[in-house]
Each structure stands twice: as structure tokens, then as C-alpha cells.
Amino acid sequence: MDAGIIGGIIGSLLGLMGGVIGTYCSIRNTKGPMERAFMKKASVIAWVAITLFIVLLLVIPNPYRLWLWVPYGILLPLGIIKLNKRVSEIRAVENAI
């Protein structure tokens, strides 16, 4: 194996481990049961969406795969904003109880 393949494998594994640790910490740091349930659901949706994005990057030929970055670049920030807003709403409801 050459250095490029080894680097790709190690980089992919580190990225995957970072995603797993980030998901675990996001769920662990929730404040209540409603927020925890929402974060679990949001995590599954994010993992499926990002996996689909990566698969499409691998199977769609050039130059068309470059167009995948347009919806990804728009939907990712919008999804993060929506997720943060929903978590704030859930925390407000759980604090009122």
C-alpha cells in the first residue's frame, strides 16, 4: 500500500470516530428526556443524510458530482439552524414543567 491509501484510510477512520464521539456527546449533554429523544432522532437523520451524500459523491461521475455541493452547502447550515431552534424550544418546554 502506498502512503495515499494509508492516509485515506486513517483519515476516514479518524473522521468517523469524530462523528461517533460528537454524536455521543450531543446526546449525553441533553438536559431532559424530550431533548434526548429529539437529539437521537436528529442524529440518525444526520448520519443517514451524510452517508447518502458520501455515497452519491462516490457513484456520480465527474463533473456532475460537483453539483452535489450546492444543496449540501445550503441544507447543512439550514438544518443546523433548525436543529438549534428546536432544541431551544424543547428546553423552554422542559424548563417550564
- List, for residues 50-96, the tens digit of each pLDDT value: 999 999 999 999 999 999 999 999 999 999 999 999 999 999 999 88
pLDDT tens track for 13-43: 999 999 999 999 999 999 999 999 999 999 9
Q: What is the pLDDT of residue 1?
A: 73
Full-model pTM: 0.85
Contacts of 65 (CB under 8 A, 6+ apart): 56, 57
Q: Let me know: does 35 contact 94? Beta carbons within 8 Å.
A: yes
Q: What is the pLDDT of residue 49?
A: 95
Whether pLDDT at 97 is above 90: no
Q: Parse the chain into domains and list their residue ranges.
A: 3-96
Which of 58, 59, 48 has the alpha carbon at shortest distance from 19?
48
